[in-house]
Amino acid sequence: MIERSQKEVWKLTPWLMIALLLGNFILMAYSAKTASNQNLIRVWAQTTAKFVQSPITGVSSAVTNYFQSISSLGTAKSENDVLKQRVQELEVELQNRESLAVENVRLKSILELKEQSDYKRLPAQIIGRDPSAWFDTLIINRGSLDGVKLNMPVVTKGGLVGRVSAVSPLTAQIYLITREKVSEGGVIGELGTSNALGVVSGTGKKELLEMGYVPGSIEVQVGDSVYTTGQEGIYPAGLKIGEIVEVRSGSATVQHQIFIKPSANFSAMQEVAVLFYEPPPRPEYDKSLPNAVKKK
């Protein structure tokens, strides 16, 4: 081992710092330039991290479940009564739904509508969250060995969660919809009642989305649901994004400013599902337009 005098160390340190900063800056510039988050360092780090994250997640969720089950024992009796009543109500509702489904099939056959194929869902457990306080990506325990590919949509029982941003053989990283930016391909949403279209993007605040480009002449209500349209070429149509919590009304010439609370509970969810959805190929003339709203 080389022993350096303190004077030599003082002389060497600034040059070493400059070299390391330059190396980091080149990495950053490369990372900013590439559209995908996928690269060799991330793939290896995620694969290594899986062996640490999985056991810790398993232990922590087991401990949490144990304490939750103890605390829920007290309310179990009253909850049981409520659930029994709910089951009876649902049985009645199910019978109504069955008759509606039969009617739906009959009407579709009359109109000769094509049946939309159901996508395969791959359940996955969240084993890690972003180690930086500035971002909120997720890491799931499914990777390319399970068939997960870049940009596949990720959902939970509440609604849309985000898309796959990097894949390693054993894990995948997920970008939440709160991160999507208008200039990077925001989700195109459809208002449940009016069918008006707009671009849904992150606001910089956790658990709040903004919907822009909705004409001010259209009536919008707080509580309306917003769904994906599939036009951005990543998410399939019909996935629930969230519900409107605030509307700053526009006019005939000014667009509405709409704020949406996402349906998925990002901070509490432990499991998600990856949709094996591949968007239909875009026509040649459309490939020159990467996003709904082009970069400035």
What Å distances lie between residue 284 and 12, 186, 280, 288, 289, CA to CA?
A: 56, 21, 12, 8, 10
Candidates 16, 82, 105, 254: give the one binding other proteins (CB under 8 A): 16
Closer residue to other proteins, CB minimum distance, 5 or 96: 5
Task: Extract long-range pairs of 27-36: CB within 8 Å, 24+ residues apart.
Answer: 36/150, 36/165, 36/166
Closer residue to other proteins, CB minimum distance, 4 or 157: 4
Q: Give the contacts of 114 (CB within 8 A, at least 6 positions apart).
A: none
Within residues 244-283, the interface with other proteins by CB under 8 A covers 267
Q: Using the rule CB under 8 A, is 14 a contact of other proteins?
A: yes
Both tokens assigned to 87: 């089951």
Q: Using the rule CB under 8 A, is 178 a contact of other proteins?
A: yes
Q: Side-chain half-sphere of 240: how many Cα atoms within 13 Å?
A: 16
Within residues 55-74, the interface with other proteins by CB under 8 A covers 56-57, 60
Q: Which stretch binds other proteins (CB under 8 A): 92-100, 131-139, 232-240, 257-265?
A: 131-139
CB 174 within 8 A of CB 162: yes
Q: What is the DSSP letter of 285?
A: G
Within residues 148-177, the interface with other proteins by CB under 8 A covers 165, 173, 175-176
Both tokens assigned to 203: 């606001």
Closer residue to other proteins, CB minimum distance, 19 or 113: 19
Candidates 122, 137, 164, 227: give the one binding other proteins (CB under 8 A): 137
Read off φ and ψ for residue 108, nearest 5 degrees: -65, -40
What is the enclosing helix (H) or strand (E) of 142? Answer: none
Least distance from C-beta 71 to other proteins, angstroms? Answer: 17
- Residue whose token pair is 């009796």: 77
* Residues within the interface to other proteins (CB under 8 A): 4, 6, 9-10, 12-14, 16-17, 20-21, 23-32, 37, 39, 41-42, 44-46, 49, 52-53, 56-57, 60, 126-137, 139, 165, 173, 175-176, 178-179, 181, 202, 204-206, 267
